Chains A and B, each alone.
Chain A
Amino acid sequence: MIIVASVAAYWYYYTTTIAVPEEIIIGAPLPFSGAMATIGESCRRGHDLAVEDINAAGGIKSLGGAKIKMVYADIKSDPEVTTSETERLISTHHPVAILGAYASSLTYVATAVSEREKVPFLAPMAQADAITDRGFQYVFRQAIRASGVGTKAIDMIVEMAEHYGTPVKTIAIVYENTLWGQTGAEAARKRAPEVGFTIVYDEAYSQGTSDLSPVVINLKAAKPDVVVLASYLNDAILMARTFHELDFNAMGYVAMGGGYLEPDFINSAGKDSEFFFAGSGWQRDLSIAGLADVVERYEEKYEIFMNEHAGLCYAATWLIKEVLELSGSLHPDNPLDPDSIRDAFLKIDISSGPAAMTAGGRARFNEKGDNIYGSHVYLQVLNGTQRTAWPFDRASAEAVWPAPLWNERQ
């Protein structure tokens, strides 16, 4: 009788005390198969390294040193799978927050699920404006908005042309047809006439296509000075190769990021990838305190060079940790409540440490959920590696502009 009573008392105590778990679960729906598979893997490595570092440094102090655990789900680079997998992730693992889902098109639908279930979602990289334009309360974005990316691409071209004394009059925009490509292209399209460029060719292609020669044939015929691009990995490789195959020459090949940032782009496209520019929210040779150390440890551990996807995911994991840290101190009674976390997001302002290791160097969110300091630098592939080339005051190498003709390269 006494045993029963004490067991009951203990059980009652245990379940009714607001217990903070020792392990904080963070969900990460990412594409580990399908067209964006390699990017999903880069993201995972970034997350894992961050989790290791965070837990080694004592976890989330305001929550009693709780450790972080990432639970991944493969969304197969497909929007419908993203919806069902995000649902499953939430209903099975009850994460406190979600970091995902790389591509804009996938993040767009994943956040619809997370919003419905009231789980805070931090998107490290998805750029499409639409993601934070829906009036959602629990969606936050670390990266720069796609409209900003498109605009910056044009601005960079203007500065390059000025700096190297090569007037640019005409541009072409070639982009993959999902949400990211479309949003970026839209912004570039708007900005180009503002700086006096004429758009001579503007075409979307089906993401994942096997043959880009019709596009490149038309591109050649249009003779643009510079081409602005948006592609995921496979298309990027194909694009570079097809440019070489069909001998399409432009002063600059300016990609708004995406697949052109992957290590595999350089590996697979080989020499064809040389001189491509890619916009990036992160770069390994930026001069930010502590960054070089993280990069070194990553590259030693995984034997692959650290790129934007890994870098932003690393930073985002730390950012979530800082947010949870803040939530713990602002709302000690219910730190893991979605509204407490949301409050922490809106109050955080961090400009040092791993959580701020991005091109923008700082994280602060507005009401919509955008990081107002989200920014971009431009890298160029030079001698088989990506070097920061723009803005000029942050460059680690001298850009090559205009790009040499195909038949003049070795």
Chain B
Amino acid sequence: MKIKALDNILRPKIYVPLILAAFLGAIPSVTSNSYVIHLLIIILFHAVLSESWNILAGFAGQFSLGHAAFFGVSAYTSTLLFISWKTTPWLGMFIGAGFAVASSLLIGFLCFRLRGPFFSLVTIAFGEVLRLLFLNWGSLTGGPVGLLVPLMGDSPINFQFLSRKPYFYIIFIMMLAVTCVTYKIRSSQIGLYFIAIREDEDAAQSLGIDIIRYKLIALAVSIFFTAIAGTFYAQYLLFLHPDSAMSLNFSVEIALPAIVGGMGTICGPLMGSFILTPISEFIRALLGGGYAGVYLIIHGGILILTVLSAPSGILEKIMKSYEAALKKMPGG
């Protein structure tokens, strides 16, 4: 009896990414180099964030520049629950995500009637309002002092580990999850609606598509993954501050890998992260504290170049060679 999935697996289009993913996932088992693992964690972290953003911006065409705010909402929620009620961050992560999604839906409902740059502007405004709220609500969030996640040492139940490897596996799984969801969206009817909305909202509406509803769905899925990455960040870095976790700069950083890699694709943001993140990490390591901003110059430059010469992202440019290579593989 032939099962379709098994049949599919033999096609290079499917098995090549799977093999690559398997390789990626296996790296921590062959090396213990703390720095390499840290680098991969950060790359995957940005990839998860960008893939989530991509669902709303790449597929549904809504360029939010306020994603960082919800990232922060979730991170702070899970951390505060942990501090005050000893709630394990594993649970706190989902509560935080729920909170973030709920608040984003409320804001989205108000804002989705705006189009284009107006939408982006209002997301910036909401993002800043949330950031300022968290910054000034000192009694709750620690305000400008920031919030330290209490040290528990090696405590898996409290989502804290002394070794970096467990963190890697967690973010790797998150990465797989968001990629699968993106894949599912793309090959489903919902995905078609998203794309219709992105291409021509008015036409989509006249076809009877409930635009607000689908925008909200895209938002919810997008924010969900952004939020769980937020808790991950809190548990990895062990420190939260509104100016770094919820800033406009961070929102832009979330968007970059998707823009550079290719919006509306499944692997674009992942690829974008593999390109952009190492640049920032190496620059930071090489030049140290004083010159940390240099990586942003490079990121900005890459962004400008991408917009001018490869507006659909770098992924598209290499897609042809990639597909040609796939044809040459067994089963293709």
Chain A positions within 8 Å of B, measured between CB atoms, are 32-33, 73-76, 78-81, 83-85, 88, 91, 105, 108-109, 112, 115-116, 177-179, 182, 206-207
Provide the residues of chain A in CB contact with B34, threshold 8 Å: 91
Q: Which of A75, A105, A109 has a CB less than 8 Å from the CB of B289?
A: A75
Not counting A73-B288, A81-B292, A177-B143, a sample of 7 additional A-B residue pairs whose C-beta atoms are within 8 angstroms of each other reads A79-B239, A83-B239, A105-B144, A105-B145, A109-B148, A112-B239, A115-B151
Those 9 A-B pairs whose CB atoms lie nearest each other, nearest first: A74-B289, A80-B244, A179-B145, A79-B146, A74-B290, A178-B144, A85-B289, A83-B239, A112-B148
Q: Is the CB of A73 within 8 A of B289?
A: yes
Provide the residues of chain B in CB contact with A78, threshold 8 Å: 243-244
User: Cα distance A184–B157 when bound, in Å?
Assistant: 38
Closest-CB distance, B233 to chain A (whole angstroms): 11
User: Cα distance A74–B146 when bound, in Å?
Assistant: 19
Whose C-beta in chain A lies nearest to the C-beta of B292?
A: A81
Q: Is the CB of B148 within 8 A of A81?
A: no
Provide the residues of chain B in CB contact with A109, threshold 8 Å: 146, 148, 239
Interface size band for B? 20 to 34
User: Cα distance A178–B285 when bound, in Å?
Assistant: 29
Provide the residues of chain A in CB contact with B288, threshold 8 Å: 73-74, 85, 88
Among B34, B238, B239, B285, max chain A CB count under 10 A is at: B239
User: Cα distance A81–B144 when bound, in Å?
Assistant: 14
Q: Which of A32, A80, A112, A182 has a CB less than 8 Å from the CB of B138?
A: A182
- Does any Cβ of A come within 8 Å of B6's Cβ? no
Whose C-beta in chain B lies nearest to the C-beta of A104?
A: B145
Q: Is the CB of B289 within 8 A of A178?
A: no
Provide the residues of chain B in CB contact with A177, threshold 8 Å: 138, 143-144
Provide the residues of chain B in CB contact with A80, threshold 8 Å: 146, 239, 241, 243-244
- Does any Cβ of A come within 8 Å of B237's Cβ? yes
User: Cα distance A179–B142 when bound, in Å?
Assistant: 9
Closest-CB distance, B293 to chain A (whole angstroms): 9
Q: Is the CB of A108 within 8 A of B148?
A: yes
Binding site secondary structure of chain A: helix
Provide the residues of chain A in CB contact with B285, threshold 8 Å: 88
Provide the residues of chain B in CB contact with A32, threshold 8 Å: 289-290
Interface residues of B in 113-163 (CB under 8 A from A): 138, 143-146, 148, 151
User: Cα distance A207–B288 when bound, in Å?
Assistant: 25
Provide the residues of chain A in CB contact with B244, threshold 8 Å: 78-80
Closest-CB distance, A72 to chain B (whole angstroms): 9
Q: Is the CB of A112 within 8 A of B290?
A: no
User: Cα distance A178–B138 when bound, in Å?
Assistant: 10
Provide the residues of chain B in CB contact with A81, threshold 8 Å: 289, 292
The interface bits of chain B over 259-286 (1 if a CB of A lies within 8 angstroms of the residue's CB, else 0) are 0000000000000000000000000110
User: Cα distance A184–B45 when bound, in Å?
Assistant: 39
User: Cα distance A306–B288 when bound, in Å?
Assistant: 29
Provide the residues of chain B in CB contact with A88, threshold 8 Å: 285, 288
User: Cα distance A84–B280 when bound, in Å?
Assistant: 13
User: Cα distance A32–B292 when bound, in Å?
Assistant: 13
User: Cα distance A356–B151 when bound, in Å?
Assistant: 33
Provide the residues of chain B in CB contact with A178, threshold 8 Å: 144-145
User: Cα distance A108–B142 when bound, in Å?
Assistant: 12
User: Cα distance A295–B292 when bound, in Å?
Assistant: 35
Q: Is the CB of B290 within 8 A of A33?
A: yes
Q: Which of A91, A112, A179, A207 has a CB less than 8 Å from the CB of B238?
A: A112
Whose C-beta in chain A lies nearest to the C-beta of B153?
A: A116
Closest-CB distance, B283 to chain A (whole angstroms): 13
Q: Is the CB of B145 within 8 A of A108?
A: yes
Q: Is the CB of A105 within 8 A of B146?
A: yes
Closest-CB distance, B192 to chain A (whole angstroms): 41
A79 and B289 contact, Cβ closer than 8 Å, known pairs A108-B148, A109-B146, A177-B144:
no
The interface bits of chain B over 213-254 (1 if a CB of A lies within 8 angstroms of the residue's CB, else 0) are 000000000000000000000000111010110000000000
Provide the residues of chain B in CB contact with A182, threshold 8 Å: 138, 145
Provide the residues of chain A in CB contact with B146, threshold 8 Å: 79-80, 105, 108-109
